[in-house]
Homo-oligomer: A and B are copies of this chain.
Amino acid sequence: MNTDVLLDRLRQHIEGQDSAEVKRLIESLHPSVAAEVLACLAPFEMQLALELMEPRLRADVFGYFPSELQHTIAPQLSEKVLVDLINLLSHDERVDFLGDFEDDKKEHLIRKLAQKEREDVRKLDSYEDGTIGAIMTSDYVSLRPSIKASEALARLRQEAPDAETIYYAYVINEDRNIVGVVSLKQLILAHPDRVLEQFMKREVIALHTRDEAEEAVRQLHKSDLLALPVLDRQGKMVGIVTYDDVADVAEEESTEDFHRMGAVGDLGTMSLRTASFRQLLISRLPWLLVLVVMNIPSGWGISLFEETIAQVPSLVFFLPLLLGSGGNAGSQASTLMVRALSIGDVHINNWMALLRKEVGIALALGAAMGLAVALIASLRAPEVMAVVGLTMVGVVLAGSLIGMSLPFLLTKFKMDPATASAPLVTSLADVCGVIIYFSIATSFFPMATPS
């Protein structure tokens, strides 16, 4: 059944005030589908539907709403329903949801929560944004090494409705140090009387609360596991990060890199459809202004060579084409490096090796492009054939080296390599391009020295 059909049917039940059918229909769906259908309802209909639902399902569905919708609908719910809902959200969703309230309201709501949930929020809330601590959940199952497989399964059964993932249980000693891990698969395959320490995996890949969230993305991706345990500074287990959390982080990181490469400022997790005029303006104007300043030297460079241009007017024809090619080769090089650094394909200590490779490739590209532009010149202005051909080699080389080196330099100075955006690289390549073009031109047409 597609969303439209479901939506029509749901609306009919709501109009007919048939609560039992509304409830039945929603509860038959996967929570993510129910969330999608509910999101299409008018606010009062959505409120009605949410209040009819069984509390746990309500929390599940609510957890699938985008954060903007969560905050649109929250004020419509009675405080009791809202607090129940927050109590039942998964640990990490709860922290995210509360984090977007104003401080007063947030504090008020946290005080209303059950004690266990309240302490949990305070703990998770203390980790800095962008760290593993901020995306982990404290909702996991831990077991002692001395219990039997059957007992472990019973424990999982008992904790299952709550634990974010019961597919792994972590085996910890009395100091909360991890000594092993067992998967649900192992538990159902094991003889019921076998003790965990006899068959648990002892080499456990673990994350640390203060590491960057991207580290969780890389480790989970590399290991193909569903979740990884998280340790605090004392090496004690404090949470887990699950595959669905890192899928979100990976998408956000890629979007951020993407935007940076296009010289767009931070839009956070905001949707382009719903981002306000002001937010979009703020994300775009600063870089545009910076780049205006970066382009001043190029203009100044060109105006220095006005006499050369007056003497050989056909040089102007090739100006956009030559400068453009340097910038384009640079954009290519920075794009390749930024992405490779970001997915961990290359590291900062690969710089020298990659630089040598880039010089070779840039010379080959420059030579091919130089031939192409000399060919164009031979048709239109044969007097500048040699100048434009040589310039092309120079600008492609300069652009490529700027584009490939800038991301490394930025990484070295602890900045995001994606700041080496295509527009920034293009602007830098333009300045070099102007200097290269007119230096070569004045050496070929020496009577016209710069004014």
Is A33 an interface residue, CB under 8 A from the partner? Answer: yes
- Of A14-22, A119-127, A231-239, A422-430, which binds chain B? A422-430
User: Within the assembled complex, what's the spacing in Å between the Cα atoms of A281 and B309?
Assistant: 34
Question: Does A251 count as interface, using CB distance less than 8 angstroms?
Answer: yes
Contact (Cβ within 8 A) B335 A288: no
Q: Considering the complex, which residues of chain A in the window 220-273 have a beta carbon less than 8 Å from any beta carbon of chain B?
A: 220-226, 243-244, 247-248, 250-251, 254-255, 257-259, 261-264, 271-273
Q: With A and B bound together, what is the CA distance between A285 and B280 in angstroms? A: 34
Is B272 in contact with A365, judged by CB distance below 8 angstroms? no
A323–B292 alpha-carbon span in the complex (Å): 10
Q: Is the pair B32, A288 in contact by a Cβ cutoff of 8 Å?
A: no
The segment from A45-53, A169-177, A310-318 found at the interface with B is: A310-318
Residues of B within 8 A of A346 (CB): 272-273
Given contacts A264-B332, A325-B292, A328-B291, contact A153 B188 (CB under 8 A): yes
Complex CA distance for A373 and B306, rounded to whole angstroms: 21
* Contact residue among B160, B257, B313, B434 (Cβ-Cβ distance under 8 Å from A188): B160
Q: Is A44 an interface residue (CB 8 A)?
A: no
- CB–CB B30/A203 < 8 A: yes
Of the residues B29, B320, B373, contact of A430 by C-beta under 8 Å: B320
Q: Are A298 and B310 in contact (CB under 8 A)?
A: no
Asked if B318 contacts A272 (CB within 8 A), the reply is no
Q: Kindly provide the distance from the CB of A311 to the nearest chain B CB, expressed in whole angstroms.
A: 12
* A368 within 8 Å of B (CB atoms): yes
A101 and B30 alpha carbons, distance in the complex (Å)? 42
Complex Cα–Cα for A365 and B263 (A) = 14
A5 near B: Cβ within 8 Å?
A: no
In the complex, A324 has a CB within 8 A of chain B? yes
Inter-chain contact B372/A289, CB cutoff 8 Å = yes
Closest Cβ of chain B to A438, distance in Å, is 12
A205 touches B376 (CB 8 A): no
The stretch that binds B, out of A78-86, A103-111, A353-361, is: A353-361
* Contact of A72 with B by CB under 8 A: no
Choose among A247, A299, A361 the residue with the greatest number of B CB atoms under 10 Å from its CB. Answer: A299
Interface residues of A in 180-212 (CB under 8 A from B): 184-185, 188-189, 201-203, 205
Instruction: Report Cα–Cα, A346/B255, bound state, in Å.
Output: 14
Residues of B within 8 A of A213 (CB): none
Chain B residues contacting A161 (CB-CB under 8 Å) are 189
> Which residues of B sit under 8 angstroms from A250, Cβ to Cβ?
247, 250-251
Instruction: Name the B residues within 8 Å of A166 (CB-CB).
Output: 185
Q: Which residues of B contact A357 (CB under 8 A)?
A: 277, 280
Q: Does A348 contact B (CB under 8 A)?
A: no
A451 CB, min distance to chain B CBs, angstroms? 10
Residues of A near any B CB (own CB < 8 A): 1, 28-30, 32-33, 36, 64, 153, 156-157, 160-161, 166-167, 184-185, 188-189, 201-203, 205, 220-226, 243-244, 247-248, 250-251, 254-255, 257-259, 261-264, 271-273, 277, 280-281, 284-285, 287-289, 291-292, 295-296, 298-300, 302-303, 306, 309-310, 313-314, 316-321, 323-325, 327-329, 331-332, 334-340, 343, 345-346, 350, 353-354, 357, 360-361, 364-365, 368-369, 372-373, 376, 396, 421-423, 426-427, 430, 434
Q: Nearest 10 A-B pairs (CB), nearest first? A: A262-B335, A298-B320, A422-B422, A295-B321, A272-B340, A299-B317, A224-B244, A328-B423, A32-B223, A295-B324
If A32-B205, A273-B350 are given as contacts, then 11 extra A-B residue pairs at C-beta distance below 8 Å, sorted by A number, are A167-B167, A254-B254, A258-B261, A259-B339, A263-B328, A263-B331, A289-B369, A292-B325, A292-B369, A299-B320, A320-B434
Q: Can you give 12 A-B contacts (C-beta < 8 A)?
A: A1-B203, A33-B223, A160-B185, A184-B185, A250-B250, A262-B334, A271-B345, A272-B339, A277-B364, A292-B369, A303-B313, A310-B310
